[in-house]
Chain A
Amino acid sequence: MRVQKIVLNRVEGDVNLKLCWDQNGKISDAYVVAYNYRGFERILQGKDLLDALVINPRICGICGHAHLMATVNAIENLYKNSSTDIEITEKAKLIRQITLCSEIVQNHLKWFYLFVMPDFLKLFPSLENEKFKPFVGEKWKKAVKFSSEIVKVIAIFGGQWPHTSYAIPGGITSEPLKTDIVDALSIVDRLIKYVEEEIFGMSYEDYLNVKDLEEFLSKSKGGDLTTFIDFCVKTGLDKEGQSYEHFITVSTVYPCINEGVIKKKKCKLNLKKIKEVKDFNILYNKETGYTYANGVRYDGLPMQTGPLARRLTSETELFLNLYRLYKDSYLVRVWARVDEILRILINMKDWLLKINVNEKSYIKPKDYKKLYGEAFGYVEASRGSLIHKVKVEKGVIKSYNIITPTMWNLGSRCNKFKSPAEKAVLGLEDPLKAQMVLRSFDVCSVCLTH
C-alpha cells in the first residue's frame, strides 16, 4: 500500500491529508491531520467570565463572530439556568443575527471564489477561466471586494470585523441610528444584486422557486454556479465525494434554518446525545493519535454539519431533490454553501427592516459575579453547528469546552467511524480530487484544533 502526504493550501489554517492508495489506484483510507494547537480551553480556565467575550472571537479569524455569539449565548443561558432574570430585546436579537449572518456571507463568498474555483483552473486551464485566477482574475477580485463590503455591516453595528465583542450579556453595546440601518441596507442590497447577477444568473424570487438542477440550468441566464455545475458534471464530481448520510443542525435561525438531525430519516434533536471522541487525538493518545483535534458523535454516529445539513434539516425542496439524485456529493455540498449566500442575504434585508430603533439595545442584567453552574451556547456558524459549554463559579470560568463545526466534519476518527471528510475521499483515484472534496467541507484547521 502506497501512502501519500498532501499539504493543503487555500484552506483556513494548516492541514495535511494522508492518503492510502490500494493496488487499483484508489484511495482506501485517509487521515485529515491538523497541528498548531493553541489551547483556548486551557487559556479560558480561571478567567473572569466576561473575558470569554474578548478571548473567544480570537479562536478563529474567519468565524470569530460566531464564537462571540456562542459565548454570549452560553453566558445568557447561564443566567437562565440559575433562575436569574436576563432580558434581551428583539432589537438586540435581530442585530446579533444580522451581524452573524454577515460573517457567514463573507465566509461563503471567499471560500467559493478563493478556495474552490481555483482548483478548476488546474483541471480546465483556459483564457476564459483565468477570471478565477487569484489576484488577477476579475471574479477573484470581485469576491474579495464584496466579502469586504458585507463585513461593513458588522462594523456599522459592532465597530469592526474581525474581532469585535459588541454582543454582551443583556444585548449589544451600540445604539444604531435609522440612517445606520439604511447604510447597512444599501450594502445588503448591493450584495444581493451582485450575487443574483454573477453567481445565480437569475433574480432571487426565481431562484427561491427552483426545484431541481434541470430547472436551475434552464432558467439561469448563466453565472458562476452554472459554470461550477458544468465543471462538476465534466469531472464526475457531481456524484463523487459522498459520505455518511447523517446530518445535524443544532440551532434555528428563523425563517431560513431549522434545527434537526437526519439519520436515514429526520428526527428530533436531542443535545444530550452529543459526545466528543478523543481516541485518535495526539493530546490524549500518543500511540493511536494522528491529529490535534477531537471528533464529535451524535448518538455514536458521525454527522455532517454546515450548509448542506441546514438545507436538509430545513427541508428545502431544491436540496431534497438534489440529494435524492446526487446525494451529498461534492457538487451538492458546494452548491448548498453557495445557495446560503443568497438565502441569508434576503433574510438579512427583512431583519434590518424589522429593527425598532426605539427599543433598548441593552438591559443591564444582574451581576455575573454571582453566577454558578454550567450552560451551553449554540450557534449556526459558517461551517455548521458550533457549541460552547461553560462551567462557572462566582463569575470565574472553571472549565470551557468548545465543539466547532469542523470537529464534526473533519475531527479525528473513532474506533467505529472515520470523520465525514475522511469517508468522503474513499475510492477516489485522483489526489487533486481528494483535496477538492476535503475543501468542499470548508476546512478550518484553526477552529479544528483551537
Chain B
Amino acid sequence: MAGTKKGLKNLVWIQGLTCNGNSHSFLSINDTMLDVFLSNINILYHPMLTSEMEFKDVYKLLLSGKVKLDFLVVEGAVSTKKDEVFFQGFDVFEILNNLKDKSDYILAVGNCACYGNFPALYNENIKGLHYKFKDKGGFLGEDFKTKSGYPIINITGCPAHPEWIVRTILSLNFGYDIKLDNLNRPKDFYMYLAHDGCIRNEYFEWKVEAHEFGTKEGCLFYELGCRGPLTHSPCNKILWNEKSSKTRSGMPCIGCTEFDFPLRSKYFETKTNIGIPEEVPLGVTKRAYIMLTGVAKTFTNQRLNKKLEDTD
C-alpha cells in the first residue's frame, strides 16, 4: 500500500493550534536516535516533512482501513467546536473524531495538545485532547481509551523534549508497558523533577540564594522564580540539545511541563511570604521546610560563599 513500509508501524502527525515547537524539538534529536526511529517507525505523514503523499490521500487510506494507524501524534490545542481549527484543509474536530478509534495509540505532544496551554486561555472551546488545564475531559472526554487500552499518552512540555517523544514511541513499538502518572504522562520521564541533576543543587541544599541573574553561583529557587523542585520533568537528567538546561544556564525553571504553566505569572521572581517561598518543594511540609532551611542557614558552607572559580 502507498506510503507504507513492510514490517514498520505507521505514525501520522497532525497539528491543531500550535507554534510547531514540538515538531522542531523532535527534529533536534541526535542523528543516531533519528536513524533508529526512522528504521523502526514509518512516518506516513508529517505536515513539514513528508513529500510523497498529501494529507487528504493519507486520510482517505486511514478512513477506509486500508492502512493501519498505529501511532497518532497530535501537536497543538484543539477545539470542541467545528470550524475553529484546521489542518491541511480539514477540520481538526472532524479528523480527531474520525481517527480516535482507529489508532492503537494517541500521543498528545506538548502542553497545547495535553492541556490547551496558552491558546486555551481566552477561548472556552479550545482544549487539550484529554484535559483542559487540570480538568479531565478535554476534547475526547474523561474516560476515553485508545484501541490499545491506553488513554491519551501525554508528553508534556513547552515544548516536549525530543527524547521523551521518541523513546515513548519506541518503547511502545518494542512492546514495553508504559506506566503513566495521574496526568497520563510516562512515569519514566515525569517521575523526576526538573531540580534533579541541577548543577546548582548544592546551593539549594545549603540555602544559598542567587540574588541576581547572570552568575553561575546560587540557587534560583528562593528569589528568582525557579520551579525546579515543583516541576515534573527530567530536564536535568536528559539534557536539552544534549548540552544543557534552563537552570544550568541561569534561567529559572518556568514549570512548562505542568498544566498551570500559562495560568501563572511573574516567572522570574519567587512569591514569598515573610521570606519563605509560598510553594515549597514537592513532598515536604512547610514546617519541615522552614526547619530544614533554618538549620542549613546556620551552618555556612564556605565553598558556596565564593565565586566558583575562587573555590579550593
Please list the residues of chain A having a beta carbon within 8 angstroms of any beta carbon in chain B: 5, 7, 9-14, 16, 35-36, 38-40, 42-43, 47-48, 50-51, 53-55, 58-62, 64, 110, 114-115, 118, 121-122, 133-136, 141, 144-145, 147-148, 151-152, 154-166, 168, 170-175, 183, 360-364, 446
A residues less than 8 Å from B15 (CB atoms): 13-14
Q: Does B216 contact A (CB under 8 A)?
A: yes
Contact of A9 (CB < 8 Å), options: B47, B118, B256: B47
* Closest Cβ–Cβ distance, residue B264 to chain A (whole Å): 9
In the bound complex, CA of A110 to CA of B254 (Å): 28
Q: Does B243 contact A (CB under 8 A)?
A: yes
* Closest Cβ–Cβ distance, residue B170 to chain A (whole Å): 16
In the bound complex, CA of A383 to CA of B38 (Å): 30
Decide yes or no: A38 and B216 within 8 Å by CB, A118-B51, A161-B240, A162-B24 being known contacts. no
**B244/A159 in contact, CB under 8 A:** yes
Which residue of chain B lies nearest to A58 when distances are taken between CB atoms in the complex? B19
Contact of A114 (CB < 8 Å), options: B48, B245, B251: B48
**B249/A166 in contact, CB under 8 A:** yes
Decide yes or no: A135 and B214 within 8 Å by CB, A43-B118, A61-B19 being known contacts. no
**A171/B213 in contact, CB under 8 A:** yes
B residues less than 8 Å from A147 (CB atoms): 27-28
**A163/B118 in contact, CB under 8 A:** no
**6 nearest A-B residue pairs (beta carbon):** A362-B214, A61-B21, A160-B240, A361-B214, A61-B20, A173-B250
Q: Does B231 contact A (CB under 8 A)?
A: no
Q: Does B237 contact A (CB under 8 A)?
A: no
A residues less than 8 Å from B239 (CB atoms): 155
Decide yes or no: A174 and B240 within 8 Å by CB, A14-B88, A362-B212 being known contacts. no
In the bound complex, CA of A155 to CA of B28 (Å): 11
Contact of A171 (CB < 8 Å), options: B21, B31, B214: B214
Decide yes or no: A164 and B25 within 8 Å by CB, A7-B55, A42-B122, A362-B213 being known contacts. no
Name which of B142-150, B175-183, B265-273 contacts chain A: B265-273
Contact of A175 (CB < 8 Å), options: B47, B48, B158, B215: B215
Given contacts A9-B55, A145-B31, 5 further A-B contacts (CB under 8 A): A61-B23, A148-B28, A155-B239, A156-B249, A159-B251
Q: How large is the interface on B (under 10, 10 to 19, 20 to 34, 35 or more residues)?
A: 35 or more
Encode contact with A along B84-99: 1 for CB under 8 Å, 0 otherwise: 0111110000000000
Which residue of chain A lies nearest to B210 when distances are taken between CB atoms in the complex? A173
The 21 sampled A-B contact pairs (Cβ below 8 Å) are: A10-B48, A36-B86, A38-B119, A39-B119, A43-B118, A43-B122, A48-B266, A59-B19, A61-B22, A61-B159, A114-B48, A144-B27, A144-B34, A160-B241, A162-B21, A162-B24, A163-B256, A166-B250, A361-B250, A362-B212, A446-B20
* Closest Cβ–Cβ distance, residue A14 to chain B (whole Å): 6
The secondary-structure label for the interface of chain B is loop
Q: Does B168 contact A (CB under 8 A)?
A: no
**B20/A165 in contact, CB under 8 A:** no
Decide yes or no: A16 and B89 within 8 Å by CB, A148-B30, A168-B213 being known contacts. yes
In the bound complex, CA of A122 to CA of B121 (Å): 42
Q: Does B18 contact A (CB under 8 A)?
A: yes
**B267/A165 in contact, CB under 8 A:** yes
Contact of A159 (CB < 8 Å), options: B16, B216, B248: B248
**B55/A158 in contact, CB under 8 A:** no
**A163/B251 in contact, CB under 8 A:** no
In the bound complex, CA of A156 to CA of B54 (Å): 38
**A175/B49 in contact, CB under 8 A:** no
In the bound complex, CA of A173 to CA of B119 (Å): 28
In the bound complex, CA of A59 to CA of B265 (Å): 17
Q: Does B173 contact A (CB under 8 A)?
A: no
Which residue of chain A lies nearest to B215 when distances are taken between CB atoms in the complex? A175
B residues less than 8 Å from A144 (CB atoms): 27, 31, 34
Chain B, 202-244, CB within 8 A of any chain A CB: 212-216, 235, 239-244
**B265/A47 in contact, CB under 8 A:** yes
Chain B, 33-61, CB within 8 A of any chain A CB: 34-35, 38, 43, 47-52, 54-56
In the bound complex, CA of A48 to CA of B271 (Å): 14
**B54/A7 in contact, CB under 8 A:** yes
**B118/A38 in contact, CB under 8 A:** yes
**A159/B246 in contact, CB under 8 A:** yes
A residues less than 8 Å from B16 (CB atoms): 36
In the bound complex, CA of A175 to CA of B30 (Å): 26
A residues less than 8 Å from B256 (CB atoms): 163
A residues less than 8 Å from B55 (CB atoms): 7, 9
Q: Does B152 contact A (CB under 8 A)?
A: no
Residue picked from B27, B56, B215, B241, most chain A C-beta under 10 Å = B241
A residues less than 8 Å from B29 (CB atoms): 148
Decide yes or no: A64 and B19 within 8 Å by CB, A14-B86, A175-B250 being known contacts. yes
Decide yes or no: A154 and B241 within 8 Å by CB, A14-B87, A141-B31 being known contacts. yes
Q: Does B17 contact A (CB under 8 A)?
A: yes
* Closest Cβ–Cβ distance, residue B147 to chain A (whole Å): 26
* Closest Cβ–Cβ distance, residue B39 to chain A (whole Å): 10
B residues less than 8 Å from A160 (CB atoms): 235, 240-241, 244-246
* Closest Cβ–Cβ distance, residue A50 to chain B (whole Å): 5
Decide yes or no: A12 and B48 within 8 Å by CB, A58-B19, A152-B243 being known contacts. yes
In the bound complex, CA of A174 to CA of B251 (Å): 7
